[in-house]
A = this chain, B = another copy of it.
């Protein structure tokens, strides 16, 4: 794909996302309908659903041959990586959205034949849109971001999902102890933003494709490594334990996880 086409797609996606943000902010002034999915800690609201439908409609109108994988199930069943695949998380961090009205994100990613092309993470309440990909670089709104420092585990803050920490899965307590400290923000999108800007240096959580699709593209563009928790390549259509980290932090953590009994 030539750069001009890429820039045109990018311009369109940003326009949809700004409209999606307005939709979300408007709906936040009305009464939410909140339902439980797999458990009482796994929520979905009418806003998740309406925003996913909005984004899928925009994508399908613009690029009708695309396949779309959406968190709330309004997209397509996708079994292979061929062609244009869009991955949509209409509200990432729905618990934060419901309980805090803050600290959540809208995320969109475009993969073509399995390759990450464009990623978007929109911190709605701060009105900060992180966007880009390998050909364009990564931007916070209109400002291009530099690579974050390649910080070692001992010198940075790490974000570990609370359930993994609580049950000491994968020897993560030792990794936490060797870091500068643990933070938990409750939204994969917000944690990814903090990785892109160097505020944390590692993020480990059980993630589904829509949780990591955009962050993988943006993170790898800025020199971060994304992998399974044991350092293997991510399958963009599968769920699992994911690690996003600086190269040096990944180097420090993998042997700790390897000691997991």
Q: Which A162-203 residues sit within 8 Å CB-CB of chain B?
A: 162, 165-166, 173, 176-177, 180-186, 194, 199-200
Bound: A177/B182 CA distance, A: 18
Q: Which A55-108 residues sit within 8 Å CB-CB of chain B?
A: 95-96, 99-103
Contact-residue bracket for chain A: 20 to 34
Chain copies in the assembly? 2
Bound: A203/B100 CA distance, A: 15
Residues of chain B within 8 A of A153, CB atoms compared: none
Report yes or no: A181 in contact with B41, Cβ–Cβ below 8 A.
Answer: yes
A199 CB contact (under 8 Å) in B99, B156, B173, B181: B99
Bound: A199/B173 CA distance, A: 27
Report yes or no: B184 in contact with A99, Cβ–Cβ below 8 A.
Answer: no
State how many angstroms separate the Cβ of A68 from the closest Cβ of chain B: 29
Residues of chain B within 8 A of A124, CB atoms compared: none
Q: Which residue of B lies closest to A187 (CB)?
A: B183
> Main SS of chain A's interface residues?
mixed
Report yes or no: A157 in contact with B180, Cβ–Cβ below 8 A.
Answer: no
Residues of chain B within 8 A of A101, CB atoms compared: 199
Bound: A176/B167 CA distance, A: 12
Report yes or no: A181 in contact with B157, Cβ–Cβ below 8 A.
Answer: no
Q: Can you give 26 contacting A-B residue pairs, CB < 8 Å?
A: A40-B180, A41-B180, A95-B181, A96-B157, A99-B156, A99-B157, A99-B199, A100-B194, A100-B200, A101-B199, A103-B199, A157-B186, A162-B165, A162-B176, A162-B182, A165-B165, A165-B166, A166-B173, A166-B176, A166-B177, A166-B182, A182-B184, A183-B184, A183-B186, A184-B184, A185-B185
